[in-house]
Structure 1
Amino acid sequence: MTLPPSALAPISDYFKVLSELSRLQVLCALRSGAKNVTEIMEETGLGQANVSKHLKVLAQAGIVSRMPQGVSVYYAIAEPFIFDLCELVSMRLSVRLEEQSQRLKQFQDLGLSESGKSKATAT
């Protein structure tokens, strides 16, 4: 990827928004459709102030949209590709874990402990 340094800062900021576990929980709660803060709280187990704070950050990043309806405000996913991005990362992590598992199994099959010493000399 060849991007000028001026383009990297906004990309970094976007990933920072997604680096918070609670924000990912909020996004997952919204995957099935628009919800108000109370519904998001019930689905995630997060407190009202926490949910509101994360929704504000997600809305500022353009990831969720805010829709007033009467006395309530509903939030919805504004960028559905966010789930494709999360799926891509999840698949990559799965592959990486599988590779690590295979390497560990190879060491175990060779009779090596995790420290790199053979089982015979480790005792």
Structure 2
Amino acid sequence: MQEVMSDEMLELISQRFRLLADPMRLKILHQLQGGEKSVTELVQATGASQPNVSKHLSTLRSHSMVKRRQEGNMAFFSIDAPFIFDICNIVCDSMKLELEQKQNLLGPA
């Protein structure tokens, strides 16, 4: 039997999906998948401005998706919620399957 979720729990789940709905946040998480990076490294890897990257890191940190480590005047970020890549892989795999099915319907080019 399926568990009934409260409105509050559904709202929390919705907030988590909204957090992941931003392409720049996904790009930052993807960069951090390989390990800890400084803000400067993330700016270079994403092509975004430092204030933009910092804003997204702050949002991700406030939702416990990334953690911050300070070393002198440098801030380093890493993944604090590794399950996020399970979600991303499920979505990516389903999108690949859907694309393959559409290509099969169209036949060879």
TM-score (norm 1): 0.79
Unpaired stretches in structure 1, ≥5 consecutive residues: 106-123
Structure whose CA Rg is larger: 1
2:30 to 28, 31, 41: 28
Unpaired stretches in structure 2, ≥5 consecutive residues: none
Query: How far does residue 4 in structure 1 lie from its aligned partner after superposition?
Result: 2.3
Partner of residue 98, structure 2: 96
1:87 to 86, 89, 96: 89
| Deviation per residue, 1:15-59 (Å, 9 max, x gap) | 111100010110111111111110101111111111011101110
Find out whether 1:39 has 2:49 as its counterpart: no
CA distance in 1, matches of 2:87, 2:47: 24
Between the two structures, name the one with larger relative contact order (CA 8 Å, sep ≥ 6): 2
Runs of 4+ in 1 over 3 A off after TM superposition: none
Matched AA of 2:73: V
Q: Give the percent of matched residue pairs that are identical in Structure 1 and Structure 2.
A: 36
TM-score (norm 2): 0.89
Q: CA RMSD in A?
A: 1.8
Partner of residue 76, structure 1: 78
